[in-house]
Amino acid sequence: MKKIILIIILILLPTTVLAAFDIDFTSQAPVGDWRQPWQDACEETSVVMVDAFYGGYDLTVDKSVTKIKTVFAIKEKFFGPSYDETAGLIVDMINRHFPWESRVVENPTLDQIKFELDASRPVLVPVHGGTLNNPNYHSGSIDYHMIVLIGYDDARGEFMAHDPGTQFGSRHHYSYDTIMAAMHDFLPNDQTLRGAKVAIFTQPDISLSGQTDGDRDGLLKIDEIRSGANLSQADTDRDGFLDGEEVQQGYSPLVAEFKLGDNRLVRDAATQRIYFISGSQKRHIQTLPTVFSYGRLYGAVVNVSAKFLNSFVDGQPIH
Ligand SMILES: [Ca+2]
Ligand SMILES: [Ca+2]
pLDDT tens for each residue of 130-167: 999 999 987 767 899 999 999 999 999 999 999 999 99
- What gap in Å lies between CA 145 and CA 178, rounded to an integer? 14
Q: How far is the CA of 306 from the centre of ligand 1 (A)?
A: 22
Q: Is the pLDDT of residue 9 over 60?
A: no
Whether residue 302 is contained in a domain is answered as yes
Predicted local distance difference test score (pLDDT) of residue 268: 92
The ligand whose atoms approach the alpha carbon of 218 most closely is 1
Domain final position from 203, 223, 243:
203
CA-nearest of 19, 21, 84 to 52 is 21
- What gap in Å lies between CA 92 and CA 158, rounded to an integer? 29
- What gap in Å lies between CA 302 and CA 297, rounded to an integer? 14
Q: How far is the CA of 235 from the centre of ligand 2 (A)?
A: 4
Q: Is the pLDDT of residue 185 over 70?
A: yes
CA-nearest of 198, 111, 106, 108 to 154 is 111
- Beta strand 198-203 with 313-314 is unpaired
CATH number at residue 99: 3.90.70.10
CA-nearest of 19, 17, 72, 22 to 47 is 72
Q: Do 29 and 163 share a structural domain?
A: yes
CB 136 within 8 A of CB 169: yes
Q: Give Cα 1 to chain centroid, integer Å.
A: 49
The ligand whose atoms approach the alpha carbon of 232 most closely is 1
**Environment of ion ligand 2 (residues, CB < 5 A):** 235, 237, 239, 241
- What gap in Å lies between CA 62 and CA 48, rounded to an integer? 13
Q: How far is the CA of 57 from the centre of ligand 2 (A)?
A: 26
**Number of structural domains, the chain?**
2
Q: How far is the CA of 97 from the centre of ligand 2 (A)?
A: 18
| pLDDT range class, residue 229, cuts 50, 70, 90 | very high
pLDDT tens for each residue of 192-216: 999 999 999 999 999 999 999 999 9
Which residue type sits at 63?
K
Q: Do 173 and 75 share a structural domain?
A: yes
Q: How far is the CA of 253 from the centre of ligand 1 (A)?
A: 11
> Which domain covers residue 91, as residue numbers?
15-203
Q: What percentage of the chain carries pLDDT values higher than 70?
A: 93
- Beta strand 313-314 with 281-284 is parallel
Q: How far is the CA of 219 from the centre of ligand 1 (A)?
A: 4
Q: Do 273 and 136 share a structural domain?
A: no
Q: How far is the CA of 240 from the centre of ligand 1 (A)?
A: 15
